[in-house]
Structure 1
C-alpha cells in the first residue's frame, strides 16, 4: 500500500469546496506569524510524535508562515521548465523527499464561543498532513487551492496546538509541473473561521446583463436560505429569487460594482456584484454583446524575497502597474491565484482567465506515456482540482473564461473536467491550449504562433484537422494567443505586428504576453551587492537556467523596456498624423480603440518642439467618439520663435482627466507624434577642408584629429584621447538571439558564434593620404572562413568637425544576418553625462521601437543601462541625430550621424557584457565604450517563439554611413 503522499487521491478529511469571501461578521483569526519548524531530508526521517500537544519543540527553529522553507536555508530552491526534478514513475516519488514539520500554538480570542469552525489553508506545496490538539484531521494535495477541515469540536480557549507535516514531493507534484521554482511550504493564508449555526455554507451570485435592454438579472443561490440586499438598486430578495432591473454593466474598462449583502440566520457577508454576460457567438468571444480584445499578460505569483508568498500590497502594485500600462487581461498561469488578487481584478477592471492548478508537461519528454490526464485512476484528483477552483472563484465578474490547465497533452480526464465545469457554471466559456482539436473548449487557443500563421487563422484558413466535423467546429471559434511575445531579457520584438493582426481580423481577439515578472530570487554577493539568481545558482542537479526570468517587469517590479513598449503597442487610443492634413499645423487622427468606453475620461494635450526644445503646449478639443470611431482634428499654427531651425515635431497625448483607483489625473494613456514642416536652417559657414600632415611621433594630423600613421586609428580629438572608432558587428547575445534548445534552429547567436563574429580580426591594408583626405583600407574577418567585410574609413576635416565616411562591402557567401553594423570607440570615463536628439528616453531596437519618441534627452551613462537579470545587449537609443558625452565641466565629445544612427554608451566593452552571468559580474572600467550603429538586427521572440521578422533582419549587404566628431568646451 502506498503512503498517503504517493496515492493518487486528492486527500482525506477535507470539507467540500465553497465560495471564498474576504469578510463576514463571523469571527476569524489569522495564524500567520512565527511557527516552530523542523526539516528532514526524507519523508520518514522523523516519527509523528511531534503532533502531541506536550511535545517539546524548544530545539526547533523558527519559520515565518506563510512562507517557504527553501528560502530560509532549509534545502534550496530549484527551477525546471518542463522536466520533473525526480524520476518519472507516477505516482511514486523518491526517498529523498524534503519534509518540513510545523508546529504552532494559538489561543482563541475572548468570546469566541462554541460550535462549528473551520481551519483554512489557502495554499501548501505539495502535500500536507494536519493534526490539531493531537487529533489527525486528514491530508491534502493541490498546492494552489484551498482546503478546509472542521475543527470546532477540537478547539479550546487556550493552547491549541496545530501540527502540519509538509512534503515537497507527492503524487500531486506530477500535476504541478508549471515552469516555476519548486518551493515547498505553507505559502498562503492559514486561518480559523467560526461557522455559527445558520452561517453560509456556500453561495453563488448570478448577475447577467442584457445589452439590448440595458437590464441586469440578479439571483443568488445560498445554503442555507437567506436574503440579499443591494441598496443602490433598491433590491431586497430572498435567495433563489430573481430580479431584473436597469443597471450599469461591469467591464474591464468600466468595472462598476454594486455593494450588497447576503444575510442568513447565522452570518452576514458583503457582496460586490458586477453584472455582465460572457458568450461565444458569431464566432467571437463577446462580453455584454461586444467583441473584446484581450491586451493581456500571463502572471505567476512571485516575490523575489518570499517566493510564492505575496501580500496585498504586492498584488495591488502588480495590477496598478498593469492598468497604467494599458493591460486589460490576466491569465493566471498556471493555477488559481490568491483570491484577494481576483477581488482586485473585480475592483480595478481586468478580464481574467482563471486556470486550474494543473500541468503535466514533463510527460511530453516521455512521449506522453503515463500522462495522468489520460488515466482514469487520476480522475478524482483532476475533478477535485477543477471543483476547488470553480467553487472558490465563481462569484468574480472579472473571470470570463475557465481554463482546464496548461500543457497537459490530451486525455479523458480533461474531458471529465470540462463536462463538470459546463454543468456547474454554464455562464463562462472554457479554455485549454493543449488540444489542437478544441474538443473540450469554446475558444481556439495557441502558444507562440508566428505572425503568418496568426494571419491565416484570422482569415479562418488555418491548416485543417483530419476530422472534418472538429475542423468545421474549430473554424467557428474565436482565436486567442494564450502565450506570445516571450518577454525574456531584451524584448520581446514583433509586438506591433501582432497587434495590427488582432485589430485587422475580428477572430483574433488578442492574447497574453509571457509573462508578467522575472522570477529572479534576490541574493547578495559576499560584498553585499544585490543580484537576482536563476536556475543553476543553487546547485541544482537539473535546471533550466534563466528561462525563469522572462517577464515584463524585473524581479523588484520595476518596469522593463518591454513593458513600456507593450504599453505603447496596445494603447486604447490611436493618435496619428494625417498626410496632407488641412490644418495650419497639420491634422491628427484620433481613433477610439476601447471596447466599451468613450473618450470622456480622457483629455488631449499637444506640445510643439523645435530641435528638441519646447515652443508651446495646449489642449486639443476632440469630439466624443464611441468605440471604433475616428475623428480628424486640425492643429493650430505652430508657435515658432525667431531663429528656430531644424526638425519640428508635434506630440499629442491622451491623459486621464480625473483620478482613478489606479492612476492620478494627468497619467498618460496614449500618445502620438507627427513631424511639422522642417524649419529652414541657416547656411553653414564655409570652411576649407584641412589637409593631412605628418606630425611628430609617427602620427598624421587632420584638422582636430591625430591619427596613428601606421594603422590609421584616431588617437586624439582636439587633445582628448580616444580609442577607435573601428568596425563592430558583435553584440552580447540577447535571450531571444540565443533561442530555445527545443525550438528548431539554427538560432542566431549559435550561427554568429559558428561563423566567428565574436572574434573578428582587423587587418589594415593601406593608410593613404590625399590632398584633403585620410583613407584607411581594412579587411575585417573571422578566423577559419573566407568571409570578410572590406571596410574603408575615409576621414575629412572642416573647421572643428572631423568627418568619417564608412564603406562596408561583404566578401563571401554570408549565411545569415549580422548582429549589428557600426563602429565602436572608447573615451575617458569622466564623460559620464549623455545627451542626444532622437529616439528615447528608453532603449529601442528595430522591432521594439514603438515606444521611442523623438526628443532631446539627457541622462547619466549609468542610467542608459538596462539591468536584465542575465546581462545582454541593451541600452541602444534609436534614430539618433546627434549625441554628446560630457563631463562635470561641460567639456566632451559630440557625434552627428548621417543617416540617423543607434547610440549606446556603457562602462564595459561588449566582450565583458557577453561573458557576464549576473549584473554583479560587470565592473565599471576607466573608459566609456560607445557603439554607433548604422543598423542592428531585430530582437524577435526566439527565446520561445518566432524569430525576427524579415523586415527587421540585418542582412549582409554593402553599406555606407557617416559620422561627424567634434569636441565640446575645449
Structure 2
C-alpha cells in the first residue's frame, strides 16, 4: 500500500469524513456515558507511512507499546518534543501538503461496557479535541477521520459495540492540511488533548436543540423558545413555564449579565431523554452604533485566554478552568476572548455560571502566509471553504446555548478572503442573537464590530473622536481592541492611559489584554522552558511567555495593575486632595448597583493607620456618582504626611470571592510629606595614622583616592556610583518589526550597558566632600557630568547627586540613580509604594503605606529574567543596617545579583545569589510600555537625559521591625 494511498486524507483540504453533524454540547439526565480518558497504549512513528493500520484490528498485541495519558500531548509525556512558533509554519509552506517527516502517534484503548449499559438504542463516540488530525477505528471498523483540532467530532458506534473487549484505535498525525488553518502563536502539541467519551443515545433522544432566550429591558420580560430536532416539552419551574418545543413564551424574568449572571434551571424532555437546561435571558444588539446587552452599552475589561497548564499543556481539567474564571472575577476582569479557538466546553459553563462576557473564536489562523504576502492563503481559496464552514458550524452549534457568548469571532490573523465572507454569512444566517467579529476585516464588510490590535493611544483616541476615517460602515460601528497591552515580561505599561480613553469616548467599548497566562513548560533544569529550549530549529523564544499570570498561575504585577485600572468603582478626591473632607464615589458597573459592596475608610499618617471605620455610601445605579462625607480627622492624630484610604469590598460571600474581598480602593492625600533635612555641621577629616587613605565625615568613612564610601555607621558599602543601566525588559527590547524604535537595542547600540566612570576630582571642603566624575559609554562622545556632594550633621550623611548631559542625547535613559552593594541584608522595610513593583506607567496599584519584605521576596520571577522589583514613591527604606531617606521620593530595588548578571540570564535558574546585596536608589526610571508587540511608553514616561539633582540621607538602624507586611485588606 503506497504512502499516498494510506495517508491521502492527511493532505485533503476537506474537514474529514464519517463524523456526525455538529450539535449542542450537553449532558443528559437519562442517557449513560462512559469516559474513555485515562491510560492508553501508544506508539510513535517518525513518519506518516512508517506503520500500517493493522494495529486497529481486534486481537492486536500492543503489550510492548508505551503508555500515555489521555487527555494529553505525547510530546509532554516523553515522546518527542514541543515546538513553539509565533506565526512561522514549522514546515515548508506548500498547501495542502505536509512533510513526510510527520510524527504519528497510534493510540489504543480497550474497554468494557458497564453492566447497566442499555442494550437498545444507539451510541456516539465523541472526541472534544485532537491535534492535528485523527483517523478512528472501533473493533476493527474504520469510523472516519477529521481535522479541526479544537473542535468536537462524534461518530455513530452503537452497531459496533460489544459488552467487553472493545478496541478503540486512533491514529494522530502532528501535521495535516488542517495545520495550515491552525497557526495560532502557541506550542505545536500533538495528541488527544481533550476528553474522549462514549455516549448512549436513547431512541427519540434530543440530539440537538437551540435555546432562544431574549430579554426586553423595557417590560422586564424574557421570551423563551427552545427549538429541538425531536419534539418535546420545556419546563422552567421558577418561571412556571411548561411549553412545547418551538413554542415561545414570555414571562417576567431577571436578566443575565456578566455582573448579574442569573440562570434559570429547566428541562427539555422528549420521549426518550431529559436534558437539563441553564437558561440566561439576555439580548445582544448593535444599536446607536454601540454593542448593547439588554439595552445598555457594555465596556469590556477583558483578556485573551489561551488554554494552558505548565505540565499538561492544553489538556485542562475542570479545576484549572474554574481557577482561571475565579482569578478573572477576583481581578475585575469581565470578558474573555477565547484566543484563538473555542475552549473546552466546560469553560463556557463556568462563564455562564460566574459571569463573563465571551467572544468565542473559531479555530482558524493562517498567520504564516503573511511571509509570502498572503499568496495561496486558504481563506481566499474556494477549495478550503467547506473546511472553514465546518469549523464555523462546529463552534456555533456546540456553543449556541451559552448566554455568556455574546460575539462570534471568525478567527484570527487569517488575512482576508471569500472563505471568511462565507463563514460570516453562514453565522449571521444561523444565529441572529449575537454579533460577528473579525479583526482582519478592515472595512467591516462581514463584521458587526470595528476591531483592532495594538493600536497606540493616539490612534485609539482618534477613533474614539470619530476622526479615523475609513469606509462609512466602519465609522458607524463600535470599536474594541481585541488585543492590546502585550503582557510580556515586566508590564504592560500604559494600561491606565488606555482605560481613560475607553471611559471618555462611548464608541470605545474596551479591550482584551494579550494575554492571560505565560505558556512556560515546567522543566527540571530551567524552571520554565520556552521556545528554543527543546532544540527547535525554528522558534520564537520567550514570545510565548506573554501573560498576566506566570505559568504556575501566580498573578504577575501586570495583573495586579490591571485589576486596579479596571476596577468598577472609582474612588477619587473631591477637589485636588483629601483635605476637602469628602470623597467622590462613582459606579462604573454597566448593570449592577453598589448594594453588594461595603465601604470603609482608614486615616494614615506616615504610612501607619491611626483610625479606621465604615463609610455610608448609597446604592448608586450604574454611572451614578455621589460625594460622601469623610469623618473628621481623628483627634490626636500625629503630625506628618497623611492619607485617607477608602476601600470598596464585598459585603458578603459571593460564588467567586469571599466577604471583604477588595473590589476597588482609592487613596487621597491630606498633607504633604516632610522633606528630610541635614544641617551641614561636620567637617571632613583625613583618617588617623600614616595615610591609610581614608576620609571621615560624620558616620561615613570614605576612600581618600576615589571619594567613594567604605562604611556608613560601620556598615560596609561597596561600589557606590551613578547607574543608568537596567536589564532590558521584553518591552524594552521590542519586536523585530520595531527595529528603529526598540529602546533596548538603541541603549545597547549607544553602549549604556557598559558605562565607564572617570574620576575628575575629590575635593575636601569646609563642610562637604565633593567628588566630580564623568560617566560615559565607550566609543561615544556622549556623557553625564556627575557630582557627588556629601555632607553630615554628625549622625547622618546626606548625598546630593547632580548630573548634566554632555553631547546630543536623543535617546532616553533606562534609569537614573545610584547603585551600591551591602555585605549583608535580608529583611527590607520601607515607607512608600507597595506592596509590589511599580514603574512610571505601571504604578496605579502602588499604595502608599509602610511595607516589609525580604530581598528575595522583592524579586518578580519573570520566566525570562529582566528588570523587576522596583518599589515606587519610596520615602525611606531600611535594609542591611542602613536607613535611607530620599529627596524627592525614589524607586527602590534590591537583589542578590548584579544588573549585569540579571541582564545575561536566560532563565530564572541562571540567577545564582552572591554574597552582596545590590541596591538601586533611582531618582527616575524610563517607562515600560508594551512594545514587545504593542506601542512604546508614552512620551510623558520617557526618562530624558537632562540636568537633574536628587538627594539621599543615610543613617543606621539597629534592626528591622517584625511588623507584618501590609496588604490591601488590612
TM-score under structure 1 normalisation? 0.97
For residues 557-582 of structure 1, the C-alpha deviation after alignment (integer angstroms, 9 at most, x for no partner) is: 0000000000000000000111278x
Query: Using the alignment, how far apart are the partners of 1:687 and 1:438 within structure 2?
Result: 69
Once the 2 structures are TM-superposed, how far is the Cα of residue 86 of structure 1 from its aligned partner?
0.0
1:743 Cα offset (Å) = 2.9
Distance in 1 (CA, whole Å) between partners of 2:642 and 2:782 is 43
1:304 paired residue number: 310
Deviation at 1:679, TM superposition (A): 8.9
1:591 corresponds in structure 2 to 586
Matched-pair contact (CA < 8 Å) for 1:375–1:412:
yes
| Contact 1:645–1:679 (8 Å) recurs in 2 | no
The answer to whether residue 458 in structure 2 is matched with residue 452 in structure 1 is: yes
Give the whole-Å Cα distance in 1 for the aligned partners of 2:621 and 2:813. Answer: 46
How far the C-alpha of 1:154 sits from its partner, in A, is: 0.2
Partner of 2:174: 168
Counterpart mapping for 1:579-728 below 5 A: 579=575, 586-641=581-636, 644-678=638-672, 688-696=681-689, 697-728=692-723
**Is 2:959 aligned against 1:957?**
no
CA shift, 1:115, in A, is 2.2
Residues 67 and 186, structure 1, Cα contact 8 Å, conserved in 2: yes
Residue 838 (1) aligns with residue 832 (2):
yes
1:151-186 superposed Cα distances (whole Å, 9 cap, x missing partner) = 000000001000000000000000000000000000
- Other-structure match for 1:82: 87
Structure 1 pair 38–685 and aligned structure 2 pair: CA distance change class (3 A): closer
Deviation at 1:584, TM superposition (A): 7.8
Preserved contact between residue 680 and residue 767 of structure 2 (Cα < 8 Å): no
Q: 1:288 to 1:229 in 2, by over 3 A?
A: same
The structural deviation recorded for 1:828 is 1.4
CA drift of 1:641 comes to 3.3
Q: Which residue does the alignment assign to 2:497?
A: 497
Deviation at 1:745, TM superposition (A): 2.2
CA distance in 1, matches of 2:815, 2:386: 55
Alpha-carbon offset, residue 967 of structure 1: 1.2
8 Å CA contact 2:98, 2:176 repeated in 1: yes
Work out whether residues 678 and 793 of structure 2, in 8 Å CA contact, stay in contact via their aligned partners in 1: no
Q: Distance in 2 between matches of 1:425 and 1:797?
A: 77
Pick from 420, 435, 442 the counterpart of residue 436 of structure 1: 442
Please state if 1:858 is matched with 2:852: yes
SS at match of 1:646: coil
Deviation at 1:460, TM superposition (A): 1.2
Preserved CA contact (<8 Å) 1:585 1:636? no
Contact 1:584/1:635, CA 8 A, preserved across alignment: no
Give the deviation of 1:547 after TM superposition: 0.2
Establish whether residue 849 from structure 1 lines up as the match of residue 838 from structure 2. Answer: no
Deviation of 1:690 after TM superposition, in Å, equals 3.5
State the match for 2:360 in structure 1: 354
Contact preservation (8 Å) 2:679, 2:792: no
Q: Runs ≥4 in structure 1, deviation > 6 angstroms?
A: 683-687
SS in 1 for 2:116: coil
Q: Where does residue 878 of structure 1 map in the other structure? A: 872
Q: 2:222 aligns with which of 216, 219, 231?
A: 216
Change (3 A) 1:187 1:758: same
Selected match of 2:142 from 112, 121, 136: 136
Deviations along 1:57-108, one digit per CA (max 9) or x if unpaired, are 0100111111010011111000000000000000000011000000000010
Query: Does the aligned pair in 2 maintain the 1:43–1:99 contact within 8 Å?
Result: yes
Q: For the structure 1 residues 366 and 680, does the alpha-carbon distance in structure 2 shift closer, same or farther, using more than 3 Å as the test?
A: closer
Residue 534 (structure 2) pairs with residue 534 (structure 1): no
The corresponding residue for 2:904 is: 915
**Residue aligning to 2:806:** 811
d(CA) in 1 for partners of 2:680, 2:383: 88
What is the DSSP-based 3-state SS (H/G/I as helix, E as strand, rest coil) of the residue aligned with 1:951?
helix
Distance in 2, matches of 1:120 and 1:260, equals 25
The DSSP-based 3-state class of the residue aligned with 1:441 is: coil
* 2:929 pairs with 1:940: yes
Query: For the residues of structure 2 that align with 1:183 and 1:4, how far apart are their CA atoms?
Result: 20
Q: Which residue of 34, 42, 45 corresponds with 2:47? A: 42
Superposition deviation, residue 637 in structure 1: 1.1
Asked if structure 1 preserves the Cα contact closer than 8 Å seen for 2:532 and 2:541, the reply is yes
SS at match of 2:738: coil
Shift of 1:640: 4.4
Whole-angstrom CA distance in 2 between matches of 1:851 and 1:580: 20
Change in Cα spacing, 1:98 to 1:685, as seen in structure 2 (3 Å) is closer
Deviation at 1:648? 1.0
Q: Output the CA distance in 2 between the equivalents of 1:679 and 1:180.
A: 49
Q: Please list, as runs of the form range in 1=range in 2, the aligned pairs for 1:310-321 lying within 5 A after superposition.
A: 310-321=316-327
Q: Structure 1 residues 580 and 543 mapped into 2: Cα distance closer, same or farther (>3 Å)?
A: closer
Q: Give the drift of 1:684.
A: 7.8
The match for 2:882 among 885, 889, 893 is 893
SS in 2 for 1:199: coil
Contact 2:232–2:244 under 8 Å retained in 1: yes
Asked if the contact 1:737/1:749 (under 8 Å) is kept, the reply is: yes
Aligned-partner SS, 1:153: helix
| 1:109 and 2:114 correspond | yes
Tell me if the contact between 1:458 and 1:507 (Cα under 8 Å) persists in the aligned partners. Answer: yes
Residue 22 (structure 1) shift? 3.4
Cα distance in 1, alignment partners of residues 37 and 684 from structure 2: 80
The 1:117/1:685 distance shift into structure 2, 3 A limit, reads: closer
Taking the aligned partners of 1:555 and 1:584, their CA distance within structure 2 comes to 44
Cα distance between partner residues in 1 of 2:907 and 2:426: 47
Aligned pairs for 1:361-400 within 5 A: 361-400=367-406
SS in 2 for 1:722: strand
Structure 1 residues 949 and 702, CA gap change in structure 2 (3 angstroms): same
CA contact (8 A) 1:580 1:586 kept: no
- Structure 2 match to 1:468: none
Partner of residue 193 from structure 1, selected from 193, 199, 222: 199
Residue 645 of structure 1 aligns to a residue in which SS? coil
Q: Structure 1: any 5+ residue segments left out of the alignment? A: 466-470, 887-891
TM-score after normalising by structure 2: 0.97
The 1:679/1:133 distance shift into structure 2, 3 A limit, reads closer
User: What SS does the aligned partner of 1:174 have?
Assistant: helix
d(CA) in 2 for partners of 1:687 and 1:516? Answer: 53
Moved more, 759-768 or 608-617: 608-617
Provide the rounded CA distance (Å) in 2 between the counterparts of 1:164 and 1:156. Answer: 18
Q: State the number of aligned residues.
A: 951
Alpha-carbon distance in 2 for matches of 1:709, 1:867? 40
Task: Indicate which of 760, 774, 778 corresponds to 1:779.
Answer: 774
- Please tell me whether the aligned partners of residues 115 and 153 of structure 1 are also in contact (alpha carbons under 8 angstroms): no
Aligned residues of 1:296 and 1:329 also touching (Cα < 8 A) = yes
SS at match of 2:563: helix
Contact 2:579 2:669 in 1 (8 A): no
Quote the residue 2:103 is aligned against. 98
State how far apart, in whole Å, the 1-side matches of 2:137 and 2:216 are.
Answer: 50
Q: Deviations over 1:752-774 (max 9, x none)?
A: 00000000000100000101110
RMSD value, Cα: 1.4
8 Å Cα contact 2:697-2:794 kept in structure 1: no
Write out aligned runs for 1:207-356 (5 A): 207-356=213-362
Alpha-carbon distance in structure 1 between the residues aligned to 2:796 and 2:625: 48
Judge conservation of contact 1:122–1:147 (CA < 8 Å) in 2: yes
8 Å Cα contact 2:519-2:530 kept in structure 1: yes
